[in-house]
Amino acid sequence: MVKVQLKRSKDFERVFFLGRYFFCSSVSLKVFNREDGMPSRVGFAIGKKQYSTIVKRNFLKRRLKSAFFPIIHKLLTGFDIVVLPGNKTTTETIGTMTKDAETLLKKHGIIPKK
């Protein structure tokens, strides 16, 4: 599996301005279809206003990454995805967050339905 992440602020800005927003209680997603056939890229964004200390932001980023890791290999090509914390990110289990994210991505055609 090739690890491809969103890293540049220009890429994040494009996803935030042009992407579609999907959410549930434990995770929120901004998705932009690049339509270029390259592997999908995933980035994680935690706001400073909502989570003031770096310790809290790093904790949430680690939780989101571990919840999203089992889904990455299922993504269709050509998407940029920014994963954001939902209202219950700190209290939900990682398994629940994984199921929620996978359900959102299947519902909107980013992961193929079986």
Report the domain count for the chain.
1
- Give 28-78 pLDDT, tens digit per residue: 999 999 988 889 999 999 988 888 899 999 999 999 999 999 998 899 999
Residue with tokens 């990455």: 72
Angle, helices 94-107 vs 54-68, to 10°: value is: 60
Burial environment of residue 8 by CB neighbours within 10 A (0 to 12, 13 to 18, 19 or more):
exposed
Whether 38 is covered by a domain: the verdict is yes
Domain of residue 72 covers 9-107
Q: CA dist 58 to 35, 52, 63, 78, Å?
A: 31, 11, 9, 27
Whether 40 is covered by a domain: the verdict is yes
Burial environment of residue 81 by CB neighbours within 10 A (0 to 12, 13 to 18, 19 or more):
buried
Confidence of residue 80 (pLDDT cuts 50, 70, 90): very high
Per-residue confidence (pLDDT) for residue 1, from 0 to 100: 42
* Beta bridge mates, 28: 23, 84
Whether 112 is covered by a domain: the verdict is no
Whether 113 is covered by a domain: the verdict is no
Per-residue confidence (pLDDT) for residue 4, from 0 to 100: 80
Residue 114 has pLDDT above 80, yes or no: no
How many Å apart are CA 37 and CA 54, to the nearest integer? 35
Whether 4 is covered by a domain: the verdict is no
Residue 91 has pLDDT above 80, yes or no: yes
% the chain with pLDDT above 90: 64
Whether 3 is covered by a domain: the verdict is no
Whether 47 is covered by a domain: the verdict is yes
Residue 5 has pLDDT above 90, yes or no: no
Q: What is the CATH number of the domain that holds 96?
A: 3.30.230.10
Average pLDDT (74-93) is 90
Per-residue confidence (pLDDT) for residue 87, from 0 to 100: 84
Per-residue confidence (pLDDT) for residue 3, from 0 to 100: 57
Whether 114 is covered by a domain: the verdict is no
